Copies of this chain bind each other. A is one copy, B any other.
Amino acid sequence: MDIRVRKIYEALFALEDLREVFRQAVPATATTIGLDEQEEEQISKGITRLETILKELKDGKGSPIKHAGTKAAGLDLRTREEEFININPIQAGGRLTPDARKALIAYGDGYSVCDQCLEGRLDKIRNPPVDEFHAELAEFVGMDVARVVPGARRGFQAVTSSLLEKGKGDLVIVADLAHYTELLAVELAGGIVKEVPSGSGSASRSRSGSARIITGDSVADTIERAKEASGKLPKLIMIEHIDYSFGNEHDVYGIGKVAKEYGIPFLYNGAYTVGMMPVDGRKIGADFVVGSGHKGMAAVAPSGVLATTEEWTREVFRGSQIAGDITGRIFKNKEPELLGCTLMGGTLISMMASFPAVKERVQRWDEELRKSNYFCREFLRIEDSKIVSEYPRQHTLTKVDTSDSFDRIAKTHKRRGYFLSDELKKKKITGEFAGSTRIWKLNTYGLSWNKVKYLTEAFIEIAEKYDLPVR
């Protein structure tokens, strides 16, 4: 452990204590001093404490703090991004940027972005520039209008709730690899799912012989079968560009085309793409683009984006129509599918603060793919290890199968599958599913080349340590 990481946290926390003195004190004005004698003493003591921490930081000495906040709060310090390489499959795109962390420090308080709300509409707040952010967000995903939502799932929900009628047996096309939240959104809206089989992939459409890929043709087939069985067309096609299970890339362009042909709206689930790789909803032929803030846009959870076309705006972002029977109150300005305002504080500010960096990083997606493929190539040198995802990789989330390599060790090791976790931990790698040595997932997104190379070598070293053949 590099003690300096802990000293940085300790200094951050000490500064928050200093900040609290000002929060509690009567403010200074042009003619008055704010702090009283006792508060000045607190500041003075706090600064002395900071000086000590800073000296320890400089010298790389001192004892490491272990808690985030007081012990009463009961929270261990979280240092997984500072003291480890984090390969967790779902956390990579949601790491905060430095700007997001700074903005969060300043805007953590509850309704922090609402200081200058004049119209009772989150997306119309000008300072901080929430209105501008919304416009840019729509553009960013190639759509006309965007709203922020508390997670991609709430985007699915807004769409299914708008498009489906309960009790009518409305059909929704989803992938057999669909994330559970898509199915839950259909369930809540009273719909029925029709799964598109990803099969074992046909050599002509998928980039690898065996990869499971949803194609336009398979979506068309499913629509036809559904039509035949029920006598009606599905109300919605909801397919992920990259699935959570394999991290495979599905043919969203082909699906967009099929959707247009049938005249069925297409929800593009970009939970693993928006904020990570370039997404152009218009080009894809999507009617809705949904992204996740905490999964792909370096933002605090729960956050996300629901973007759509001018046409669908009228339906999904319609104004409220309910009226109070006595007061006659109506709320035309409020959008019921969003329940009015959505992300009024730290969640939104972190999305906004990360946004310049996010716009930049999607341009470097090719480099992320190169790192992902580099990792896989090297990983495959460990004999009988397999990449279960399509290969070459089109994403950084990868499913591997080490049943015939690391799991052979696990079978006789006294720590069982945890031997691998133990070894990784020693090498300061975390985020694997602890104890898994058969089929498991990892994500190299956002790791520097240095880290990717370190990571690769780490796996090879572990293999060699246990006498697994390495080619």
Contacts and interface: CB of A to CB of B under 8 A. Distances in A.
A340 B180 contact: yes
B184 A322 contact: yes
Contact of A28 (B2, B73, B448): B2
A84 interface: yes
A78 interface: yes
A87 interface: no
B166 A353 contact: no
B16 A105 contact: yes
A22 interface: yes
A195 B326 contact: yes
A90 B111 contact: yes
Nearest to A185: B339
A161 interface: yes
Contacts of A154: 150, 339
Contacts of A348: 301
B115 A108 contact: no
Number of copies: 2
A343 interface: yes
Nearest to A188: B336
Contacts of A26: 85, 450-451, 454
Contact of A322 (B4, B51, B187, B334): B187
Interface stretch (A96-104, A257-265, A402-410): A96-104
Interface in A99-133: 99-112, 114-115, 127-129, 132
B150 A302 contact: yes
A29 interface: yes
Interface in A324-376: 324-327, 329, 331, 334, 336-337, 339-340, 342-350, 352-353, 355-356
Given A15-B12, A320-B184, A106 B301 contact: no
A280 interface: no
Interface in A431-467: 431, 448, 450-451, 454
A195 B324 contact: yes
Interface in A1-48: 1-2, 4-5, 8-9, 11-13, 15-20, 22-30, 33-36, 43, 47
Contacts of A102: 12-13, 16, 68-69, 73
Nearest to A326: B195
A178 B324 CA distance: 9
A300 interface: yes
Interface string A307-327: 000000000000011101111
A451 B34 CA distance: 11
A27 B82 CA distance: 7
Contact of A302 (B183, B294, B302): B302
A69, A156, A165: which has the most chain B beta carbons within 10 Å?
Answer: A69
A361 to B, nearest CB: 13
B186 A322 contact: yes
B78 A115 contact: yes
A247 interface: no
Given A19-B101, A184-B320, 10 more contacts: A4-B22, A9-B19, A22-B82, A51-B54, A74-B132, A150-B302, A187-B321, A301-B346, A301-B348, A302-B342
